[in-house]
Chains A and B, each alone.
Chain A
Amino acid sequence: MSLKNILENWSHYRRGIEQGGHHKYEHMWGMALDLNKCIGCNACSVACYAENNLAVVGHDRFAKNQVMHWLRIERYWDEPDLDKVSDSTSQYQEHGASFLPMMCQQCNAATCEPVCPVAATYHTPDGLNAQVYNRCIGSRYCSNNCPYRLRYFNWFSFYESSWPAPLHLQLNPDLTVRDKGVMEKCTFCVQRIRVAKDKAKMENRKVVDGEFQTSCQQSCPTTAIVFGDMLDPESKVSTLWRTHQVELGKTKQAKQNRELRGYRVFEALNTEPKVMYMERVREV
């Protein structure tokens, strides 16, 4: 029976991403992040902690990098010439910091997926890079093979120490608390996606763009984060990608026009990330 299955569907089973892949995508959730608008306030990161039951690991473990912030704000002082006025002796500049919020890029050709020995991470028909906590055995290969370093490991059981009573009452009931030994990462707030999809299904309609927001998007004071379905050509995120001429399957953007600020991180690695960043522009 299986043999028949293989023979009949052989050409279909041999389709990689270059041939369109195996999936028929229902949605393809994507993001666009305007770094011009990002002020590095960390509200998104905090919102993510609250929404996704992220454990607070404490000072010592944070210092050892045993931390689990699905969305992190990276600070770079890569423009030292902006700090001419400062006379401080601190190792960091007074002016000219730039911020890069990094959450899972939900790559369409994710490098973390094929290396998991037990298939605990896979690509959903929603275009999400899903992590099945129950299936994870903690080999940590996915994290090692993520060029963005966006996967975090539960080094300890945090569920007792991280939310001492009555803090456990603030946990989000829509998703689990992870135990030690499993990998976790940003899900694009899959629980909110699920609710929106179910609601749309009950009302027998399609999910409307902007019907729901991810928690980081919701908490961003400057609306730097735009989230939506990239299969819907009218959605905000599709429009932004189109405007900045960033496309899936294309690894280099034309940069002649200075208005085109869009890029994806490590495009050249062919991982097909679905988060587009718009470069920061400085007034010099």
Chain B
Amino acid sequence: MSKHRIMGLFSDFEQAFAAIADIRANKIHGVSVDDVTLKSPIEHPEIEEVLGERPAHVPKFTLMGALFGLTFGFLFLASAQATFLVQPQGGKPVVPLPSNFVLTYELLILFGVAFTVISFFIGAGMGRKRDTLYSEMVSLDQVGVLLEVDESKAQALKDLFKEHKVVEIREEVAR
């Protein structure tokens, strides 16, 4: 049985929200809310109410990056200074803490930001090819609800979308 990918475009976020709420309430047997992908022109944090809490691991990587910057930064500076003994200066110690704190602070932020951005690119799947079912209306003002379902469920899903005043339904057979 072939899989179908169906995207309903809604002109209003409330209707898309209601449609997903119906899916969550198991209106169509065998279609799980976990298969739903929402595509929206703006950020809708409230969608988690019906979509469930889905993970985003960015903060962990941020913490890792910051800790890495902290330890690497200090050790890098201190070890560089400790191998550069020919140049003691101004009566300061070989490893001066005030300046190393300042620089470690900068490196902490640098690596924190770098890890955050990299984990964002990986976590959000950036840089991949866009879905073939992408609609340019999504970047304007419509909200898309994308599901991959069995052929047998396709009609029921489309009916559900229509119930919620869907503007357009796009469909393709998944490979």
Question: What does DSSP make chain A's interface, helix, strand, loop or mixed?
Answer: mixed
| A-B contact number at CB 8 A | 71
CB within 8 Å of B: which of A95-132?
108-114, 116, 119, 121-123
* Interface flag for B79 (CB, 8 Å): yes
Residues in A whose Cβ lies below 8 Å from that of B173: none
* Interface flag for B1 (CB, 8 Å): no
In chain A, what residue has the closest Cβ to B89? A113
Known: A3-B75, A123-B88. A16 touches B82 (CB 8 A): no
* Interface flag for B155 (CB, 8 Å): no
Within the complex, which residue of B75, B83, B90, B95 is in contact with A123, where a contact is CB–CB below 8 Å?
A: B90
CB within 8 Å of A: which of B57-106?
75, 78-79, 81-97
Known: A2-B82, A6-B95, A9-B82. A21 touches B75 (CB 8 A): no
How far is A109 from B96 in the complex, measured between Cα atoms in Å? 14
Report whether B91 and A17 are in contact in the complex, using a CB–CB cutoff of 8 Å. Answer: yes
How far is A231 from B79 in the complex, measured between Cα atoms in Å? 32
Residues in B whose Cβ lies below 8 Å from that of A121: 89
Residues in B whose Cβ lies below 8 Å from that of A112: 90
Report whether B90 and A119 are in contact in the complex, using a CB–CB cutoff of 8 Å. Answer: no
Report whether B91 and A5 are in contact in the complex, using a CB–CB cutoff of 8 Å. Answer: no
Shortest distance from the beta carbon of A107 to any chain B beta carbon, whole Å: 8
Known: A13-B94, A13-B95, A22-B94. A3 touches B79 (CB 8 A): yes
Report whether A111 and B82 are in contact in the complex, using a CB–CB cutoff of 8 Å. Answer: no
Known: A5-B79, A5-B83. A21 touches B89 (CB 8 A): no
Known: A15-B93, A16-B93, A22-B93. A5 touches B82 (CB 8 A): yes
Report whether A114 and B83 are in contact in the complex, using a CB–CB cutoff of 8 Å. Answer: no
Residues in B whose Cβ lies below 8 Å from that of A6: 75, 78-79, 82, 95
Shortest distance from the beta carbon of B80 to any chain A beta carbon, whole Å: 8
* Interface flag for A272 (CB, 8 Å): yes
Residues in A whose Cβ lies below 8 Å from that of B85: 22
In chain A, what residue has the closest Cβ to B83? A2
Shortest distance from the beta carbon of A247 to any chain B beta carbon, whole Å: 16
Residues in B whose Cβ lies below 8 Å from that of A252: none
Report whether A119 and B84 are in contact in the complex, using a CB–CB cutoff of 8 Å. Answer: yes
CB within 8 Å of A: which of B97-152?
97
How far is A22 from B81 in the complex, measured between Cα atoms in Å? 13
How far is A14 from B78 in the complex, measured between Cα atoms in Å? 11
Shortest distance from the beta carbon of B132 to any chain A beta carbon, whole Å: 52
Report whether B93 and A14 are in contact in the complex, using a CB–CB cutoff of 8 Å. Answer: yes
* Interface flag for A255 (CB, 8 Å): no
Report whether B91 and A21 are in contact in the complex, using a CB–CB cutoff of 8 Å. Answer: yes
How far is A22 from B90 in the complex, measured between Cα atoms in Å? 11
How far is A13 from B94 in the complex, measured between Cα atoms in Å? 5
Report whether A113 and B90 are in contact in the complex, using a CB–CB cutoff of 8 Å. Answer: yes
Within the complex, which residue of A2, A10, A14, A16 is in contact with B91, where a contact is CB–CB below 8 Å?
A: A16
Residues in B whose Cβ lies below 8 Å from that of A201: none
Within the complex, which residue of B87, B90, B95 is in contact with A110, where a contact is CB–CB below 8 Å?
A: B90
How far is A110 from B86 in the complex, measured between Cα atoms in Å? 16
In chain A, what residue has the closest Cβ to B74? A6
Residues in A whose Cβ lies below 8 Å from that of B96: 114
Residues in A whose Cβ lies below 8 Å from that of B88: 21-23, 122-123
Report whether A13 and B89 are in contact in the complex, using a CB–CB cutoff of 8 Å. Answer: no
Within the complex, which residue of A5, A12, A122 is in contact with B89, where a contact is CB–CB below 8 Å?
A: A122
How far is A199 from B93 in the complex, measured between Cα atoms in Å? 33
7 extra A-B contacts, CB within 8 A, seeds A2-B79, A5-B83: A6-B95, A110-B89, A113-B90, A114-B89, A119-B87, A119-B89, A272-B91
Report whether B90 and A111 are in contact in the complex, using a CB–CB cutoff of 8 Å. Answer: yes
How far is A108 from B94 in the complex, measured between Cα atoms in Å? 15
Residues in B whose Cβ lies below 8 Å from that of A122: 86-89
Q: List 16 A-B contacts (CB under 8 A).
A: A5-B82, A9-B82, A13-B93, A14-B97, A15-B94, A16-B91, A17-B92, A21-B88, A22-B85, A110-B90, A111-B90, A113-B89, A122-B88, A123-B87, A123-B88, A123-B90
Counting from the closest, the 10 A-B pairs by CB-CB distance are: A17-B91, A109-B91, A2-B79, A113-B89, A114-B90, A13-B94, A122-B87, A113-B90, A22-B88, A13-B95
